Amino acid sequence: MGLTLTIVALVAVLAVAWRFLGSYMAAVYEGRSRFLRFVERPIYAAIGVDPEVEQSWQRYAASLIVFTGVVLLIGYVLLRLQGSLPLNPQHLPGVTPALSWNTIVSFVTNTNWQAYAGESTMSYMSQMGTLVLQNFLSASVGIAVAVALIRGFSRKGSKTIGNFWVDLVRGCLYILLPIAFVAGIIFIAQGAIQTLSGPATVTDTLNGVKQVIARGPVASQEVIKQFGTNGGGFFNANSAHPFENPTGLTNFLSIALLLAIPVALTYTFGKMVGSIRQGATILAAMVIIFGSWLSIATVAEHQANPAVAAAGLTAQPTGNMVGKEVRFGDTSSALFGVASTQTSTGSANSAYDSFTPMGGFALLTGMMIGEVTPGGVGSGLYTVLLFAIITVFLGGLMIGRTPEYLGKKIQAREVKLAALGVLVMPVVVLIITGIAAAIHAGRAGPLNSGPHGFSEILYAFTSAGNNNGSAFGGLSANTAFYNVMTSVAMLLGRFGIMVPVLALAGALAAKEVVAESLGTFRTDKPIFIGLLIGVILIVGALTFFPAVSLGPVIEALSHGKFF
Amino acid sequence: MRTHLFVNIRRAVAVTVVFIVICSFGYTLALTGIGQAFFSSQANGSLSANGSTLIGQNWALTRCPGHPLGSCVFQGRPDALGPYAPNAKNGVSGGDNPLVANGVSGGSGATNLGPRSKVLVANTRKLIAYWHARGVNPTTDLVTTSGSGLDPDITPADATAQIPMVSKATGISPTVLSKLIAKETHSAQFGFLGSSYIDVLQLNEALAKIK
pLDDT tens-digit map of B164-200: 999 999 999 999 999 999 999 999 989 889 889 999 9
The predicted pLDDT at position B95 comes to 54
- Cα–Cα distances (Å) from B155 to A141, A535, B159, in that order, read 43, 44, 7
Percent of chain B with pLDDT strictly greater than 90: 76
Interchain CB distance below 8 Å, B144 and A305: yes
On whether any CB of chain B is under 8 Å from the CB of A172, the answer is yes
Q: Give the other-Cβ count within 10 Å of A181's Cβ.
A: 17
Give the Cα-Cα-Cα angle B181, B184, B188 (nearest 5 degrees): 110
Comparing A375 with A521, which gets the higher pLDDT? Answer: A375
Per-residue pLDDT at A1 exceeds 70:
no
- Give the model confidence (pLDDT) of A194-223 as tens digits: 999 999 999 888 888 888 899 999 999 999
Q: Would residue A322 count as lying in a domain?
A: no
Compute the nearest-CA separation of B101 from chain A (Å): 9
Do B134 and B101 lie in a common domain?
A: yes
Interchain CB distance below 8 Å, A208 and B63: yes
Closest residue in chain B to residue A313, using alpha carbons only? B140
Q: Average pLDDT, whole number, for chain A?
A: 95
pLDDT band at A504 (very low <50, low <70, confident <90, very high): very high
Q: Would residue A75 count as lying in a domain?
A: yes
Do B164 and B203 lie in a common domain?
A: yes
Helix (H, G, I), strand (E, B) or coil at A190: helix
Interchain CB distance below 8 Å, B108 and A2: no
Per-residue pLDDT at A264 exceeds 70:
yes
> Nearest CB to B28: which of A132, A193, A356?
A132
Do B23 and B99 lie in a common domain?
A: no
> Nearest CB to A177: which of B10, B27, B59?
B27
Do B6 and B53 lie in a common domain?
A: no
Sign (positive or negative) of CA dihedral A142, A145, A148, A153:
negative
- Closest listed residue to residue B28, CA positions, set A114, A128, A483, A461: A128
Q: How many CA atoms lie within 13 A of B66 on its CB side?
A: 5
The predicted pLDDT at position B106 comes to 72
Do B39 and B79 lie in a common domain?
A: no
pLDDT band at B87 (very low <50, low <70, confident <90, very high): low
Which residues of chain A lie closer than 8 angstroms to B128, CB-CB? 311-313
Q: Would residue A224 count as lying in a domain?
A: yes
Domain extent for B137: 48-210
CA A301 to CA A333: how far, in whole Å?
Answer: 8
Interchain CB distance below 8 Å, A194 and B32: yes
Do B158 and B187 lie in a common domain?
A: yes
Do B93 and B124 lie in a common domain?
A: yes
β strands within A124-208, DSSP E: 200-203
Interchain CB distance below 8 Å, A307 and B113: yes
Do B126 and B24 lie in a common domain?
A: no
Interchain CB distance below 8 Å, B8 and A66: yes
Helices (H) and strands (E) in chain A, counts: 23, 4
On whether any CB of chain B is under 8 Å from the CB of A126, the answer is no
CA A370 to CA A68: how far, in whole Å?
Answer: 22
Q: What average pLDDT does range A461-477 have in this prediction?
A: 95
Domain extent for A120: 2-274
How many domains is chain A built from? 1
How many domains is chain B built from? 2
Do B83 and B115 lie in a common domain?
A: yes
Q: Would residue A55 count as lying in a domain?
A: yes
Do B26 and B113 lie in a common domain?
A: no
Sign (positive or negative) of CA dihedral A304, A305, A309, A313:
negative
- Cα–Cα distances (Å) from B100 to A117, A118, B103, B111, in that order, read 11, 13, 5, 11
- Is the confidence metric ipTM above 0.85 for this complex? yes
- Give the model confidence (pLDDT) of A141-156 as tens digits: 999 999 999 999 999 9
pLDDT band at B91 (very low <50, low <70, confident <90, very high): very low
Residues A174 and A268 sit within 8 Å (Cβ to Cβ)? no
Do B29 and B99 lie in a common domain?
A: no
